[in-house]
Amino acid sequence: MQSLDAFAGGKLAALEAKSLRRWLKPTRRHDGAVVERDGRRLISFSCNDYLGLSQHPEVRAAAAEAALNYGAGAAASRLVTGDHPLLGDLEKRLARLKGTEAACVFGSGYLANTGVIPTLVGPGDVIFIDALAHACIWAGAQLSGAKIVKFAHNDVAVLARLLEAERPLARHALVATDGVFSMDGDIAPLDQLSDLCARNDAWLMSDDAHGVGVLAEGRGSAALFPDAEIPLQMGTLSKALGSYGGYLCGSRVVVDLLKTRARTLVYATGLPPASAAAALTSLDIIESQPDLTALPIGKARLFTRRLDLPDAQSPIVPVVLGGAEAALSASAALEAQGFLVVAIRPPTVPEGTARLRVAFNAAHEDADVIRLADAIAALREVFT
């Protein structure tokens, strides 16, 4: 189809002209936050495997054993024949970690958000979303047909005014936010959001993709706010847990509804047993080694102190450079020095805030963190 290829080619050329084209780069990952590209080994500050568990011998062995014993795939939707008993074991463990009655495992975090939100809200309802929330929360909201109201990032006063204006017009209301913001590394004020939701009969949903395993001895961002009521706690198995998959922790009745109605559970194949087995072993490690869970944020704080930045609140630290081209050039300069720090550009982050997103790992050596900080300090002079 000539018009199709012309469309695709034209769109790519326009993105290229704005430094917004993206490329896949085949990458092998090794122990200790080391990755290999084009035969070169680099120290990665871009993996979300904060505890190195994807490479942990026991986690790998659990995945391999499950694949050998139970097969490579789940073969059907969980509601047909794809509900391997390991998924139920995993749900119990996740609920225990988060202190909820129940949990529901999905094929990925993206599938969790795009399945959960439309199950709970629809036309006639309203969903308030933090401006910097993850793309899959927006995708779930769009699928739901509910009215979407964006609130300024972490701005409780703005949200209070929006709730006052919009809440009475809707049947149900959901407030959705990242617990730890994926591109900024800061934390949502879940206690204040919880108060606002209680006062306005709104349901609070937090996405803890980057909190589980690394905050509050691995329990995640909600555990930093013990008095907050967060009835919908979503997360992923794909980051600090080193596996693949997503989940929602909540009350038994909400989880039962999701298992009956969430389209990304009903109409998608279940999570492979190997992914569940790996995540279960990671949870064992996290629960038995609280010191390990504290390491990534410790490395992040070493970095922020070296650069005179505010103390890191999570293992993610943004170094905002502004233009997409500056971020790409800085990333390339770091790669030449042996560091992999991927440039993050719009539309992943707002226009004019392209950045280096630095993600810290339990396996990083302090000396490498300091070398990276000094290299970035020199680059900041050049690019900002």
Ligand X SMILES: *Cc1c(COP(=O)(O)O)cnc(C)c1O
Active site residues: 182, 210, 239
Q: Give 170 or 320: the residue with its C-beta nearer to ligand X.
A: 320
Q: Give 200 or 361: the residue with its C-beta nearer to ligand X.
A: 361
Smallest distance, ligand X to C-beta of residue 47, A: 12
Nearest to 213 by CA among 265, 277, 281: 281
| Strand-pair partners of 147 | 126
Give the one residue of 50, 110, 303, 360 binding ligand X; rule: CB under 6 A.
110
Q: What string marks each residue from 36 to 75 as x (binds ligand X by CB under 6 A) or -?
A: ----------------------------------------
Q: Give 113 or 200: the residue with its C-beta nearer to ligand X.
A: 113
Alpha-helical regions (H) of 132-212 = 135-144, 156-166, 190-200
- Residues 224, 233: Cα–Cα separation, whole Å: 13
Residue 272 is a binding residue for ligand X (CB under 6 A): no
Residue 304 is a binding residue for ligand X (CB under 6 A): no
Smallest distance, ligand X to C-beta of residue 314, A: 11
Residue 249 is a binding residue for ligand X (CB under 6 A): no
Give the one residue of 119, 194, 236, 275 binding ligand X; rule: CB under 6 A.
236
Give the one residue of 55, 100, 182, 331 binding ligand X; rule: CB under 6 A.
182
Binding-site size for ligand X (CB under 6 A) equals 13
**In the range 133-152, which residues lie near ligand X by CB under 6 A?**
134, 136
Give the one residue of 246, 250, 273, 296 binding ligand X; rule: CB under 6 A.
246
Q: Which residues contact 316 (CB under 8 A, 6 or more apart)?
A: 180, 181, 182, 183, 184, 185, 210, 300, 357, 358, 359, 360
Residue 238 is a binding residue for ligand X (CB under 6 A): yes
Pairing of strands 316-322, 354-359: antiparallel
- Residues 295, 360: Cα–Cα separation, whole Å: 9
Smallest distance, ligand X to C-beta of residue 39, A: 28
Smallest distance, ligand X to C-beta of residue 210, A: 6
| Strand-pair partners of 371 | none
Give the one residue of 33, 51, 170, 209 binding ligand X; rule: CB under 6 A.
209
- Residues 231, 203: Cα–Cα separation, whole Å: 7
Q: Where are the beta strands (DSSP E) in the chain?
A: 28-29, 34-37, 40-44, 102-106, 126-130, 147-151, 173-178, 203-207, 232-236, 246-250, 316-322, 339-340, 343-344, 354-359
- Residues 90, 243: Cα–Cα separation, whole Å: 12
Name the one range near ligand X by CB under 6 A: 14-22, 162-170, 203-211, 369-377.
Answer: 203-211
Q: Give 182 or 353: the residue with its C-beta nearer to ligand X.
A: 182
Q: Is residue 328 within 8 Å of 287, Cβ to Cβ? A: no
Residue 109 is a binding residue for ligand X (CB under 6 A): yes
Tell me the residue length of the chain. Answer: 384
Nearest to 247 by CA among 41, 88, 376: 88
- Residues 152, 384: Cα–Cα separation, whole Å: 25
Q: Is residue 378 within 8 Å of 57, Cβ to Cβ? A: no
Residue 207 is a binding residue for ligand X (CB under 6 A): yes
Nearest to 233 by CA among 194, 281, 265, 263: 194
Name the one range near ligand X by CB under 6 A: 50-58, 202-210, 265-273, 341-349.
Answer: 202-210
Name the one range near ligand X by CB under 6 A: 68-76, 205-213, 361-369, 372-380.
Answer: 205-213
Smallest distance, ligand X to C-beta of residue 370, A: 27
Q: Give 44 or 108: the residue with its C-beta nearer to ligand X.
A: 108
Residues that bind ligand X (CB under 6 A): 108-110, 134, 136, 178, 182, 207, 209-210, 236, 238, 246
